[in-house]
Amino acid sequence: MDVLKIKNFWKIFKQNKLGVVGLIILLIFVFLAIFAPLLARFPSLTTGAGEAFLNPSFKHLLGTDNLGRDLYSELLFGARITLVVSFIAVITSTVVGVLFGSIAGYYGGIIDSILMRITEIFLVIPPIFLALVLVAIFGANITNMIIVISVLSWPQTARLVRAEILSLKERPYCKAAIATGESDFKIIFSELVPNTMTTIIVNLSLTQATAILIESALSFLGFGDSSMVSWGLMLNNAQEFFRQSWFMVFFPGMSIFLVVLSLNLVGEGLNDVFNPRRKK
Amino acid sequence: MNLRNPLLKIENLKMHINTYEGKIKAVDGVNLELFAGEIIGIVGESGSGKSMTSRTILKLLPEGGEVISGKITFKGRDILQSSEEEIRTIRGSKISFIFQNPATFLNPVLKIGDQIIENIILHQKIKKKKANESAIRLLTDVGLRNVDKIIDCYPHQLSGGMQQRAMIAMAISCNPDLIIADECTTALDVTTQLQILNLLKDISKKINISIIIITHNLAVVAYLCTRTYVMHEGKTIEEAKTNDLFFDPKHDYTKKLLKSSRIINEEKFYSTEGESEILKVDGIKKIFRLPRTKDPLNAVDNVSFKLKEGEIFGIAGESGSGKTTIANLLMGLLNVTSGEITFLNKEINEFVKKDRKKFRKNIQMIFQSPFGSLNPRKTIGSILSLPINIHFKNTKDKTKEKVLELLTMVELVPPEIFFDRHPHELSGGEQQRVAIARAISTEPKLIISDEAVASLDTSIRVDILNLLKRINKKTKVSLIMISHDLSVLKNMCTRIAIMHLGKIVEIGKKEEIFLNPKHEYTKSLLTATLQIPNKERQTHDK
Amino acid sequence: MNYSYLVKRGIQIIPVVFGILIISFLMIHLAPGDAVFMFIGESGADPEFEAAIRTRLGLDKSLFEQFILYIKGIFSGDLGRSFVLNEDVSKIIFDRAIPTIILMLSSISFGAIFGILIGVYAASKPYSMRDNISMVIALFLYSLPNFWLGQMLIIVFSVNWGLLPVSGMESMILGDKSFLFDRFTHLVLPTITLGSTLAAFVMRFVRSSMIDVLGQDYILTAKSKGLSERKIFFKHALKNALLPVITYIGLRLGYMLSGAVVIESVFGWPGLGLLMLDALFERDYPLIMGLFIVISLSVTIITFIVDILYTYLDPRIRLK
């Protein structure tokens, strides 16, 4: 049964209850992000919408922060940043990663050595450190954040794809393709990479989860785009006000947690579909 | 020998395995008796249930395994009704196993001595020092030397043959009544195989141990076993004294199995040869550098031979002889370190550079494993269309027509149905036929077959070999058959080259090789290669 | 002792080290604006002083020559001088390293032990209730943003219940508490926060490694010898399964340091992470780059050491 066909895919995926839960949570957040302007009570970053440190009420569903901003509205707008930034970063890094990984894996030799050394370097440099330095040098805005996160994420994807290609390369059908006289380009992208699709897809959701954690960490440390709301930024703001309001900490953080969790659950679900385990 | 009460009796055993994809009837009605001191065989193709039956004897069921019905009696004790604790006292002490591949069946992080002693201490409850002495004695008994060093070695430091001897030492360490040997020589090379089988024979005589030999190889059974059971689809379908089995089989399946194995021994086929020489290999060498030590490995060492149009040529050798490397060199997948290969009167490197397409069109390869030969994401039609589209200018319809023709030629009918299928929907034999179709699709002058039938069941093997012969007759394509199995080569080839450690030690017409071998290695290969008895010969004893 | 393998690994590090140096060099010079300001700060200085600095730092030479000077400097321990703090960068880093080392050691120990225990527990009955729950716990743990976990723990344990200190590494006034106890209470929450992510990953890794090992052929051999489940699990399986965990933890080192920056910020822990953040705010470029190099090289060297440790422990590599 070909699991890349939607009908078959869904049949197996829905058996994984946690995966389905994750998908639902994810879709809810996507919905909230898309319709944020309609759902929010107040436009983004409106100080003084209410008194400071209000508890959740009907007017302010999740309360207010130290400057009287409506937490509920801030949260909705924050969702947009988080999801958009991470999504674009993931797509970019996956494309780059697949390109590099497949070429390095197929040709081996110098290209491969270079790739392996690059991925090792990225493994050794603590990601946040590199991100902070880059943001400090080039400035903290949305575009740079996306670029920085992409730069941090592509080596992992490249490594994964390279490993798959290395093993697929040894399969007789690849040798047969060479023997038939197929061009290298066609072999890599028409024979080999399609067989890595399952790995790439699972990797997509897991990479996005990581991307969100990096983005919020950067914002939390104060190095995100300060002109826009972001959940990490909200937590940064909340750092001084533990005693006054724990809502300021709880809601943004819980949102990050739920989105990341849902992505990881979906990733697990995808993994179960593509690499079924034998159980009774 | 106690003829009245069997040591082991299996009655109507049925065992099912519950898997993710459904229920598998692994054992579906097995009846067996074994008397003390006997060596019996259980023979069958892959999936016949022979291994599963043996594991059930010791209640070593796989994940999801469940005994549905039946009875197993060992020395009067009802195995299936016994508790796990009671069975554990039998495992390793009264009944022990020898498995197929000692490299994976020995724990890589424990020393050899430790793994043997563990068994002794558990069952005989003696102190470590005494157990150590026993271990040393056992390892010597199984024919190993430098035993004190081996005790402290880890499995990966020993060769395959030595590892298997260590496993045997482990199995006999507590003086068992029964040893079950599950394909225990399949992973070894031919010469070592014979040594191990002889070792088992000796042990059985000396210590009066009964042995059950489980194998797919009829020749092994002919060599060792007095009685044999034949299994098919989970059932024991025939049982007879070995001689009777080979000369007077009762069940249809047994007859079919024997016929396939015997046909492979036929010598009657000769290929239709043309006059022109299409391939000349002149003194080629291929040296690899070992990854860690950078020592040179002479994979191919000064090999020369020629090939005529339409000829079927064989290259025989065990693993490590260099035969696959030669295939890769001929295909241009690897470069020679020195020497020259001339194909269709052009030097290969030149050929590949200047006229890559023509080169690739004229030389094709069939690989060993049918699984992995075909891209799982593509349809059969798409796989076969590709080479045609690369090398011939056709319209889409013409290509499809050609593909359907090919499918018919390899006897995959009706071809329209196979066109749209994916590889995983086909059986091993069917996939191999597709691989053959792909090889002939470019109308090549030379096809190299690297162990093309090794992973197929015996009954299918014959069909595939016959298919290749028909294609050779029809299209006059030359074939190079590479195999470790001399009977396959005997069946197909006009001339055969014997390879050992990278060199061709002997080359000549097949009759000369088989009836009058000159080189020492050829001789030892031939004697070690067990033959199943046919009407002209009797089971030979060594 | 397999020296050839060691040498080979040693040689493999060199390009990585080189790469790190090149990256940091490039970052300094690719930054928008004049590189001089990275060294002397952005406060307007008089042109003569600027020119003198330029010559002294060799900024008037070719890029390649600058790079050579740069490398020479680093290997002789000269990481430049922080104009903000008016001290040698190497000294600053050296003074602030210990708190981070303490935090890392304690978090790694906590994470590894906790992770291994639960991973082994989960693997003892694969696909059972205990396994599923353990893996869900792991999933939750590594989905948590660790800074949020830290904040929530502070709110619960320090603000609301007053059990543990809010921040810092030590109390200003010891009172009647012992020195060690004080240090310990300050260490608890940061350790749990930083260690929990590692624990989650180790849990999953150990569990899958164990299940993998339990499916190996040699386990069947062990069963066929009549060994008890317990013995097979602990003697035959565990050693094989835990061996790669060491390398795995080595691999997570970079990520852990990454987390340490954030955790130090949440807890006000006076280590290198906090130092980095201060340096970034102050635009103290020499210190920033110095920290970058020191940390990256440290991880490289430690990973190498972990590798050596592994080769010693795995008989397949240690011998022949």
- Report which of B362, B357, B323 is spatially closest to residue B345, judged by C-alpha positions: B362
Query: Which H or E run contains A147?
Result: helix A142-169
Residues of C in contact with B110 (CB under 8 A): 235-236, 239
Q: How far is C241 from chain B (nearest CA, A)?
A: 10
Rounded to an integer, the average pLDDT of B490-498 is 88
pLDDT per residue as tens digits for the range A177-218: 888 888 888 889 988 888 898 889 999 999 999 999 999 999
> Residue C119's Cα: distance from chain center in Å?
22
Q: Which residue has the tokens 């009544």?
A: B177
Segment 77-96 of chain C within 8 Å of chain A by CB: none
pLDDT band at C233 (very low <50, low <70, confident <90, very high): very high
pLDDT tens, residue by residue, C79-97: 777 767 777 788 888 888 9
- pLDDT the model gives residue C117: 95
What integer pLDDT is reported at residue C166 of this predicted model? 75
* Residue among C221, C235, C310 with most chain B CBs within 10 A, to mutate: C221
Answer yes or no: is pLDDT of C45 > 70. no
Which pLDDT value is given to residue B534?
60
d(CA B515, CA C29): 79
Strands B65-74 vs B39-43: parallel, antiparallel or unpaired:
unpaired
Kindly list the residues from chain A whose CB atom is less than 8 angstroms away from the CB atom of residue C251: 123
Average pLDDT over residues A86-106: 94
Predicted local confidence at residue C92, as pLDDT: 86
Q: CB-based contact (8 Å) between C159 and chain A?
A: yes
| All partners of chain B with 3 or more CB pairs under 8 angstroms | A, C
Torsion angle in degrees (nearest 10) through CA of C84, C89, C94, C97 = 60
3-state secondary structure of B507: strand
CB contact under 8 A, C316 and B89: no
- Specify the pLDDT at position C144: 94
Query: Of the given ranges (B394-398, B457-461, B470-474, C240-244), which has the lowest mean pLDDT?
Result: B457-461
- pLDDT at residue C163 is higher than 80: no
- B138-184 tens-digit pLDDT: 999 898 988 988 899 999 888 888 999 999 999 999 999 999 999 88
* Collapsed DSSP state (helix, strand, coil) of residue B290: coil
> Which residue from B minimizes the CA distance to C236?
B107
Mean pLDDT for all residues in chain A: 87
Distance from CA of A64 to the nearest CA of C (A): 18
**In chain B, pLDDT over 90 holds for what percent of residues?**
31
Whether pLDDT at B413 is above 90: no
Cα of B360 to nearest chain A Cα, Å: 5
**Is C316 close to B90, i.e. CB distance below 8 A?**
no
pLDDT of residue B446 exceeding 90 = yes
Q: Chain C neighbours among A 16-35 (CB < 8 Å)?
A: 18
Token readout for C219 is 């386990």
The answer to whether residue B536 scores a pLDDT higher than 50 is no
Q: Which residue in chain C has the smallest CA separation from B294?
A: C4
Inspect the interface and report whether the beta carbons of A121 and C19 lie closer than 8 Å.
yes
Q: Tell me: the pLDDT tens digits for A124-181? A: 899 999 999 888 888 888 899 999 999 999 999 999 999 999 888 888 888 888 888 8
Judge whether B354 is closer than 8 Å to chain A, CB to CB. Answer: no
Helix (H, G, I), strand (E, B) or coil at B269: coil
State the SS3 of B363-425.
EEEECCCCCCCCCCCCCHHHHHHHHHHHHCCCCHHHHHHHHHHHHHHCCCCCHHHHHCCCHHH
Q: Do B333 and A176 touch (CB under 8 A)?
A: no
Partners of residue B333 in chain A, C-beta under 8 Å? 175, 178-179
Confidence check: pLDDT of B541 > 70: no
Q: Indicate whether C28 pLDDT > 70.
A: yes
C residues 190-209 lying closer than 8 A (beta carbon) to A = none
Chain C residues whose beta carbon lies within 8 Å of the beta carbon of residue A222: 277, 281
Q: Is the pLDDT of residue C115 over 90?
A: yes
Residues 6+ apart with CB under 8 A from C304: C9, C10, C13
E strand or H helix that includes residue B180: strand B178-182
A278 contacts on B by Cβ (under 8 Å): 19-20, 63-64
A118 touches chain C (CB under 8 A): yes
Q: Are A94 and A204 in contact (CB under 8 A)?
A: yes
pLDDT, position B346: 86
Using a CB-CB distance cutoff of 8 angstroms, which residues of chain A are in contact with residue C255?
Answer: 126-127
pLDDT of B411 reads 86
**Range of A172-181, B101-110, B453-462 with top mean pLDDT:** B101-110
For B184-224, write each residue's pLDDT tens digit: 887 777 778 888 999 999 988 888 899 999 988 888 888 88
* pLDDT in the model for residue C1: 60
Largest CA distance in chain C: 86
Q: Give the pLDDT score at B70.
A: 92
Task: Give, for B296, the enclosing helix (H) or strand (E).
Answer: strand B296-308
* pLDDT tens column, A13-58: 888 889 999 999 999 999 999 988 888 777 777 777 777 788 888 7
Tell me the C-alpha distance between A188 and A194, whole Å: 9
- Work out the minimum CA distance from A1 to partner chain C, whole angstroms: 24
Question: Using a CB-CB distance cutoff of 8 angstroms, which residues of chain B are in contact with residue A277?
Answer: 20
Q: How confident is the model at residue B538 (pLDDT cuts 50, 70, 90)?
A: very low
Q: pLDDT-derived band of residue A280, with 50, 70 and 90 as boundaries?
A: very low
- Give the model confidence (pLDDT) of B289-337 as tens digits: 776 666 778 888 889 999 988 899 999 988 778 888 898 899 888 888 8
Q: Please tell me which residue of chain C has the smallest CA distance to A252.
A: C148
pLDDT of residue B266: 60
pLDDT digits (tens, 9 = 90+) for B221-258: 888 899 999 998 889 888 888 888 888 888 888 888 78
Residue with tokens 């069109």: B361
- pLDDT of A245 over the 90 cut: no
Closest partner residue to C224 (CB to CB) among B91, B122, B123 is B91
Mean pLDDT computed over C42-54: 64
Q: pLDDT at residue B524 above 60? A: yes
Pairing relation of β-strands C81-82 and B312-316?
unpaired
Of B92, B156, B167, the CB nearest to C226: B92
Q: Which residues of C touch B163 (CB under 8 A)?
A: none
Nearest to B373 among A2, A172, A180 (CB): A172
* Distance (Å) from the alpha carbon of B454 to chain A's nearest alpha carbon: 15
C298 touches chain A (CB under 8 A): no
Angle in degrees, 0-180, between the axes of helices A197-220 and A231-238, rounded to the nearest 10: 30
Predicted confidence at residue B5, as pLDDT, reads: 84
Which pLDDT band, with edges at 50, 70 and 90, does B542 fall under?
very low
Helix axis angle, C272-282 to A127-138, nearest 10°? 10
For residue C315, the chain B residues in CB contact (below 8 A) are 108-109, 154, 156
Per the CB < 8 Å rule, is B390 touching A182?
yes
Q: HSE on the CB side for B243, CA within 13 Å? A: 4
Q: Which residue has the higher pLDDT, A244 or B4?
A: A244
Shortest Cα distance from B363 to chain C (angstroms)?
40
- Answer yes or no: is pLDDT of C59 > 80: no
Contact C221, B99 (CB under 8 A): yes
Q: Give the pLDDT confidence score for residue B370 in this predicted structure.
A: 64
**Residue A253: per-residue pLDDT:** 93
**pTM metric for this prediction:** 0.83
* Best residue of A125, A205, A259 to probe chain C, by most C CBs closer than 10 Å: A125
Contacts of A275 in chain C (CB under 8 A): none
Put simply, whether B164 touches C (Cβ < 8 Å) is no
For residues C229 and C179, which has the higher predicted lDDT (pLDDT)? Answer: C229
Q: Which tops the pLDDT comparison, A12 or C266?
A: C266
Query: In the predicted model, is pLDDT for residue C58 greater than 80?
Result: no
